[in-house]
Structure 1
Amino acid sequence: MSGNTLNGAQVIVDYLIQEKVPQVFGLCGHGNIQFIDALYERSADIKTISTHHESVAGFMADVYYRVSGKVTATFTSCGPGSAQLPIALATAYLDSVPFLAVTGNVPTSQFNRGAFQEMYRQNQADFPSTVRGICKRVFQPTRGEMVPLAVRQAWKTMVTGRPGPVVLDVPYDVFMESAAEEAPDAKAWNGNISSRCGADPESVVKAVDMLLGAERPVIFVGQAIRHGGAAGELLQLAERLQIPVAASMSGLGAIDTLHPLSLGMVARGGHYQANHATRQADVLLSLGARFDDRTSSSWIPGYSFTIPPTRLIHVDIDPDEIGRNYPVALGLMADIRTFLRQVLAELDRRKDLTKKAEARKKWLAQIEGYRKEWDKLVAPGFTDDTQPINPQRAAFEIQRGLPDDAILVSDIGVHHNWLLGYCKPRRPDSMIGCMAFGSMGFGVAGVLGAKFAAPDRPCVSVCGDGAFFMQANVLGTAVEYNLPCVWVVWNNYAYASIRGLQRGYMGGRELATDFHDPITGQRYNPDFAAMARSCGVDGVRIDRAADLAEAIRRGIAANRPYLIDVDIAADINPAGAGIWELPGLGQSKPAIGTRYEPV
């Protein structure tokens, strides 16, 4: 390698710096020490954050994007190092979140020889085959001169169209080989590309005509509103035409949940005013939503949706999502923000919109009646003072303890259902969770990524005891990098969401879902507060609901890593207006309302 030539690792690092990546998250191994050395050389321009588990690095990169809207990268070594990353890749892929995963591999000269940590039995150096189904694409340069092309194409693939993670799998010797005199010019190659495509103009006119002609319209939003920066345009449209807005679990917070046009969440555990409005809608405008089984009450008509006769306008950047689960009256492939701007521009050309908005008053009054029924149903849980703590009361107290600018990163589990049902996010990045793949550990680790993305905002993880125990190594990372995150451990001494399914569908037969002492039979968990203190993290135990909000305020005010171990009841399930079916086992029942049958 000549003195002025960059090796493969240096090209990748330089390209990341050009793309303004502030830090990378990862873990060392013999297969990536040359890449780490290249990071060391540029440590003034890009920070290296070392984690204690590879999936933690992936979750951090994922949530960093969800909060900041900016892409970062991870680094992992060959063999088990990168093999521990797929859970985070799949989580990001199914939630349309981009990050660049730089994975190490064995030297090309050792391909197919069974070198240490080579995956070689069917195909040589075959880590890419393990992740092709859970990322947008895998690039594997096998010579140094291939790296510049691979890194710039990887970046473009990751951020254009429907975003998602991309893997750049680099053999050890390719990190070291001469690659180029300089890295590709990031701005020249990718900086001027926009994939914010609009819908065709005729279809925009049709969509506006359908909305204006509807008597019971509803806007239904997914996470594309949040990630695409379209919350402002959504609010303009809703207010201008007085159309209520319902959200999927991923879209909750796209509109302030306290806004009078906000219906809340449509789902099996959704709010009555949301489910009952969307299933009665004559026109439903869907913006970046997938219509998955939990949102759609297992696609059983009359609980979440009734499509048809509801006429569906389905807008998505990915045409494969349009018409996947419901027939469309109008399907439009478009970036959501661009489409909304097109609709607003079309409305500017129309007249008499005031009369159209006035016509919504009857529909909105009906919905207000549904809201009052829901509020009456759930009111007792907000004041319940039993011990262990009522989970609905816990969600209420958590919300009460958070300032308006806080970022709540939820893990997956029964607590997530309670938070979605009873917390009230005020902005698109107020509450973050993984919705499609449902990876335990996401919230435990992701809160660290949130703090890197928003160092001046309080970042709180609410995580189940099962998930926290899986990834308790995050406490060390928080101390090492002085990250003042707060973990609220929702401690119900069980994998409670699954135990609930056993009780509901298996006649009460339970196995492998609760944590207990085999001798006494009493419930068992480690002392999580003491565990935190052993790591240098402040840890407290909360047993009374009335103390929880103040404990969260103290944790945030401490401005250092902080853990709150909360004793919460496991035997109460969230109320919901939808249902869920496990095929072959049966359907759940709504807590309020019945199946809607269109006239």
Structure 2
Amino acid sequence: EVSIHPLDKRLPIGVTYPDPSAIEAAVKLLLNAERPVIVAGGGAITANASNELTRLAERLGAAVSITWNGKGAISEDHELFIGAVGQTGTTCGNKITASADVVISVGCRFTDWSASSYAKGVSFSIPPGKLIHIDLDPREIGKTYPTEVGIVSDAKVALEAILALISEADAKKALAKRETFLADVQKAKADWIAQVSPRENSRETPFTSQRPLVALRKVLDRNGIVVVGSGNTQGSVKQSFPVYEPRTHLTSGSYSPMGWAVPAALGAKLACPDRQVVAIVGDGDFMMSLPEMGTAVMNGINVVFLVLNNSGYMSIRGGQRKFMGRHIASEFTHHSGNGQPYSADITASARAFGLEAWKVEKDEDLESSLKAALECGGPALVEVIVSRDAAGPFATGWWDFPSPAYYEKEQAGYAEMRAREQHL
């Protein structure tokens, strides 16, 4: 048990209500739309607006995409869910959202990562698409994209107001116009599943980054909480680990620092002692918080640490190759010069701290080790050896990573995408 200050003494009281005329304008746009998409950001979860967001999607026949921080705003087994947008979004999320004639953004800041550095037609096409932007912070409205209807409001209250103005008759008329759109949604979802399934279901070792996530999803409770580290792990979870409830996916987002997930998972378990909590991290990320294993044991905080070990900073390696055509100090290799990956014995380190720990190098041991860790009754660690070459998510969008003139191989593509950015 832990002692904390009473939260009601620390949290703000009251909500911001929307301008009724803005709500009316938003409803008119939504009812006339042929390809409506709701983009859920972290603000949708902060406002506890998931139920209203899902109801609006169902009433309108609108697809729902998410940002990093919006993961969990709608259950990912919902037929209208299309995945994430942005550089490591899904092909489905990017394609369908970019084709929208009306986008309603709920608590989304349109960062360069989620908006594919604003390259037109990759994640968003605004204009010609029209944007309804709901945000509590007026500075976000119109900051990155021109806004047709800006609604400064608590997200839950705004969505309730929109729902109240859409009658059953109006909803039926709107749905009748969207048969082609909804068929496109299901086709795009099937195409994405076909693309990602080989990595998710691969039995090769070292593992892909996706395979351990599929195994974890099978043994984790539906309301289990995952706390996700940075880099390739973060993107892989976004694409290949479905969550079904708000606040069951916690990630650093924004700056995305290494070293955040392990202590954050300890905090999540203290806040929700009756829920399963798993920290999913890469080896580089994990090593920055290794001493917290002692914290977990001394305080009896029963978190499972899933460490995807590819012996390096593979996300940084990818950025170095993109920027310079080479990499330095991002692969951990043995000093002998034979190119063999180097790694500390993470499993042995965990055991030395007093955790139950498993090292998984064979597919037949994957699910059983994760299940045992969740059921062991104490803090536990599962180290999974993953491939450097198959590490990380699919890069389905665009991120403006400047390519120097001397790296000619990347220059043509970079110039093309920069030109598309300028069309905004």
TM over 0.5: yes
1:366 aligns with 2:184: yes
After superposition, residues 118-517 of structure 1 pair within 5 angstroms as: 155=10, 159-160=11-12, 193-194=13-14, 196-348=15-167, 351-507=169-325, 509-517=326-334
How many angstroms apart in 2 are the aligned matches of 1:273 and 1:238?
Answer: 17
Larger Rg: 1
Superposed CA RMSD in Å reads 2.2
Confirm or deny: 8 A CA contact 1:537 1:563 kept in the other structure: yes
How many angstroms apart in 1 are the aligned matches of 2:34 and 2:2?
Answer: 49
Change (3 A) 1:352 1:510: closer
Q: Deviations over 1:488-515 (max 9, x none)?
A: 11111001101112223322x2211121
C-alpha displacement of 1:274: 1.2
C-alpha displacement of 1:429: 1.7
C-alpha displacement of 1:444: 1.2
How many angstroms apart in 2 are the aligned matches of 1:470 and 1:382?
Answer: 28
State the secondary structure of the residue aligned to 1:218. Answer: strand
C-alpha displacement of 1:547: 2.2
Equivalent AA in structure 2 for residue 235 of structure 1: T
Equivalent AA in structure 2 for residue 396 of structure 1: V
C-alpha displacement of 1:584: 4.0
How many angstroms apart in 1 are the aligned matches of 2:82 and 2:248?
Answer: 17
Equivalent AA in structure 2 for residue 304 of structure 1: S
Q: Deviations over 1:549-594 (max 9, x none)?
A: 22111101001010111101112242243122213445879xxxxx
How many angstroms apart in 1 are the aligned matches of 2:146 and 2:365?
Answer: 49
Change (3 A) 1:504 1:401: farther
Equivalent AA in structure 1 for residue 170 of structure 2: D
Which of 344, 354, 374 in structure 2 is aligned with 1:556?
Answer: 374
The farther-off stretch of 393-402 and 254-263 is 393-402
Equivalent AA in structure 2 for residue 485 of structure 1: V
| Residue 567 of structure 1: aligned partner | 385
State the secondary structure of the residue aligned to 2:327. Answer: coil
How many angstroms apart in 2 are the aligned matches of 1:503 and 1:576?
Answer: 14
How many angstroms apart in 2 are the aligned matches of 1:345 and 1:384?
Answer: 47
Q: Deviations over 1:275-326 (max 9, x none)?
A: 1111111100000001111111111101000110010011100011111111
Change (3 A) 1:545 1:580: farther
State the secondary structure of the residue aligned to 1:581. Answer: coil
C-alpha displacement of 1:71: 4.9
State the secondary structure of the residue aligned to 2:252. Answer: coil
Equivalent AA in structure 1 for residue 150 of structure 2: G
1:525 aligns with 2:328: no
Change (3 A) 1:22 1:204: farther
How many angstroms apart in 2 are the aligned matches of 1:451 and 1:439?
Answer: 20
| Residue 53 of structure 1: aligned partner | none
Q: Deviations over 1:347-402 (max 9, x none)?
A: 24x74321212322221001111112212222221222222111122222222232
How many angstroms apart in 2 are the aligned matches of 1:501 and 1:401?
Answer: 34
C-alpha displacement of 1:243: 1.0
Confirm or deny: 8 A CA contact 2:17 2:158 kept in the other structure: yes
How many angstroms apart in 1 are the aligned matches of 2:282 and 2:195?
Answer: 26
Change (3 A) 1:261 1:575: same
1:541 aligns with 2:336: no
C-alpha displacement of 1:22: 6.2
Confirm or deny: 8 A CA contact 2:323 2:403 kept in the other structure: no
| Residue 7 of structure 1: aligned partner | none
C-alpha displacement of 1:408: 0.6
Equivalent AA in structure 1 for residue 240 of structure 2: Y
How many angstroms apart in 1 are the aligned matches of 2:314 and 2:364?
Answer: 23
Change (3 A) 1:545 1:506: farther
Q: Deviations over 1:66-93 (max 9, x none)?
A: xxxx959xxxxxxxxxxxxxxxxxxxxx
State the secondary structure of the residue aligned to 1:421. Answer: helix
How many angstroms apart in 1 are the aligned matches of 2:403 and 2:332?
Answer: 28
State the secondary structure of the residue aligned to 1:577. Answer: coil
Equivalent AA in structure 2 for residue 347 of structure 1: I
Equivalent AA in structure 2 for residue 457 of structure 1: R
The farther-off stretch of 494-503 and 299-308 is 494-503
| Residue 417 of structure 2: aligned partner | none
Q: Deviations over 1:145-180 (max 9, x none)?
A: xxxxxxx8xx4xxx44xxxxxxxxxxxxxxxxxxxx
Equivalent AA in structure 2 for residue 482 of structure 1: G
Q: Deviations over 1:442-465 (max 9, x none)?
A: 111111011011101110001111
Unaligned segments of structure 1, at least 5 residues: 1-20, 25-45, 47-69, 73-151, 161-192, 590-594
Confirm or deny: 8 A CA contact 2:322 2:401 kept in the other structure: no
How many angstroms apart in 2 are the aligned matches of 1:230 and 1:251?
Answer: 11
C-alpha displacement of 1:269: 1.6
Confirm or deny: 8 A CA contact 1:220 1:247 kept in the other structure: yes
Equivalent AA in structure 2 for residue 538 of structure 1: E
Size of the aligned set, in residue pairs, is 409
State the secondary structure of the residue aligned to 1:468. Answer: helix
| Residue 407 of structure 2: aligned partner | none
| Residue 3 of structure 2: aligned partner | 23
State the secondary structure of the residue aligned to 1:304. Answer: coil
The farther-off stretch of 252-261 and 519-528 is 519-528
State the secondary structure of the residue aligned to 2:166. Answer: helix
How many angstroms apart in 1 are the aligned matches of 2:283 and 2:271?
Answer: 25
Confirm or deny: 8 A CA contact 1:394 1:545 kept in the other structure: no
State the secondary structure of the residue aligned to 1:314. Answer: strand
State the secondary structure of the residue aligned to 1:278. Answer: helix
Unaligned segments of structure 2, at least 5 residues: 405-409, 415-419
